[in-house]
Amino acid sequence: MSKQKLELTWIGKEKRPKLEPRILLEDPEKSYHAKHRVTDNDIFDNRLIFGDNLLALKALEQEFSGKVKCVFIDPPYNTGSAFTHYDDGLEHSIWLGLMRDRLEIIRRLLSEDGSLWITIDDNEAHYLKVLCDEIFGRPNFVASVIWEKSDSPKMDSRYFSSRHDYVLVYAKSIDALKLARLPDDTDDATKHYNKTDSDGRRYYTKPLRAMGSGDDTREARPTLYFPITAPDGTAVYPKRQDGVDGRWRWSQERVQRDADKLEWVKSKNGWNPYYKIYAEEGKQRPPETIWTHKEVGSNRTSKAEVKALIDQLSQFDTPKPEALLKRVLDLATNRGDLVLDSFAGSGTTGAVAHKMGRRWIMVELGDHCHTHIIPRLKKVIDGEDQGGISKAVNWKGGGGFRYYRLAPSLIVNDRWGNPVINPEYNAAMLAEALAKLEGFTYAPSEVHWWQHGHSSERDFIYVTTQNLSAEQLQALADEVGPERSLLVCCAAFHGVTAAKAAERWPNLTLKKIPKMVLARCEWGRDDYSLNVANLPMAKPDPVEPPAQAEASRKKSRKAPAAEAGQGALFGEDE
């Protein structure tokens, strides 16, 4: 019997798209940079990407896996209004499937100490929580923040006047996550510091053993279960009051590093370690899980901010206030860190990240990428945007961004329905696309004409639409040499069979285009949009009459022969 696991299931969960890893094409006319440097820390390599955000995430995966410090997304909330024509339950399935596909790539993009922040409301918050538990692991759940999005009640509400949304926070690895603390400027901030050390510094203590957090067991965090040596030399393990193995708050490395901050207390049950929190350190406090509109703004605040920059709000009923994003980036990032928002909306994440000296990537498919986001960012860069958080961070302008669009699909059908390389691709685009598909870094050499990319210092890729002869392959093998290897992607080769080629030139691997990639991806699909209102309604599978079903089976048995007949299209070995 297979071991069962706790998971969220939905209609079509097993279906996963075979995404094409598109290349990105810069449009210099839409890219924008300040006319001069404002500070030495100005950042110019930010990216605004126009296109479907799932394809864009896939396009970013190879270059940015493990490099994004913070992802903030504000996805469509799935309010139900778009699903009038769907069966009950199917709308949630569509939404969950589309979110799952994005979150899996986002997790790979995050750095080991990175974090994900998702704004969501009650319609899908609890389903999304379980989905994220499955993708990120339950121990990597950090918090469910309550954000007071409304600064006044809705008097016409039927049952409750909803005034909050959630911000779900997940770590890539909870042990590596380090969130900043917030300034503590309250009058009674030092009342807790009821002890004084030998140097006259005031402090208070907390148990080193994790307590009452819900994940305070050895099973939940096995790496935090280890012995610590007490003053009398005995080994002390974390034990809960019920006798179950517990865990420490600190890692072994930190226990060794901050041993001077430990204070041991002996009771009838033995030694217990506590850690000291000093008054000078305590001028900051951990963030709490309720954020009021007075702290981080409300929907009313954000509408006013966007309207002050662009006098069009019809597409943005609920933009996020800049102070909310500042709170997130203050906690999760430092200057120079990379921030990603794949649901850019009105561009708040990029605007705030830019003002705070963070690098950023935003993705947006809608027309407002051009009508709202670009004009907004230009005002930020030119220093004309003095709303939002500008005065709080003393923003004067500077920096810039590059505008990219997703390249069209690499494979299209010709007028006879045969798959061919997209004629919109030039030689450089083709080389970059195949390098990405094969897992190579696209980096054309200025010295060696056959080096279009590399996967290591000695492994390279060469892309050509030529039909290579045995003589050409021999010359290529000689130039590559025995110490290096080369993947050759060509239209065809002749004068030698594939088996003989592998034996004759062990430093070359030959593949034919487009045959080498046909089964890799869903070609020609440009929209995996979360705008589910535009998705076609699911239709029931038709029930075929017996005679028609038999004809279909006979036709399917002939399919392999038909496929074999297409071999000449791609160039068979001679």
Give Cβ neighbours of residue 381 (< 8 Å, ≥ 6 apart).
32, 33, 34, 354, 397, 398, 399, 400, 401
For residues 470-493, average pLDDT: 96
For residues 126-151, average pLDDT: 95
Alpha helix positions (H), 1-118: 53-64, 90-109
The answer to whether 247 touches 218, Cβ cutoff 8 Å, is: yes
For residues 478-492, average pLDDT: 96
In angstroms, rounded to a whole number, what is the distance separating the alpha carbons of residues 199 and 204?
14
Average pLDDT over the chain, rounded to whole? 86
Query: Tokens 């121990």, residue?
Result: 139
| Per-residue pLDDT reduced to its tens digit, 509-530 | 999 999 999 999 999 999 888 6
| Per-residue pLDDT reduced to its tens digit, 251-262 | 999 999 999 999
Six-digit token string for 482: 């025995």
Asked whether the predicted pLDDT for residue 480 surpasses 90, the reply is: yes
In angstroms, rounded to a whole number, what is the distance separating the alpha carbons of residues 377 and 32?
9
Q: How does residue 216 score in pLDDT terms, banded at 50, 70 and 90?
A: confident
| Per-residue pLDDT reduced to its tens digit, 156-188 | 888 898 899 999 999 999 999 999 988 776 555
Helices and strands: H and E segment counts in the chain: 15, 28
Burial 324-339 (b: 16+ CB within 10 A, else e): bbbbbbbbbbeeebbb
Lowest-pLDDT range of 195-209, 215-229, 543-557: 543-557
Backbone angles phi, psi at 270, to 5 degrees: 115, -165
Long-range interactions of 436-440: CB distance < 8 A, separation 24+: 436/21, 436/23, 436/62, 437/21, 437/410, 437/517, 437/520, 438/487, 438/489, 439/62, 440/487
pTM recorded for the entire structure: 0.77
28: cis peptide before it, omega within 30°? Answer: no
Instruction: Tell me what pLDDT residue 89 has.
Output: 52
Instruction: Tell me what pLDDT residue 457 has.
Output: 95
Asked whether the predicted pLDDT for residue 85 surpasses 50, the reply is: no
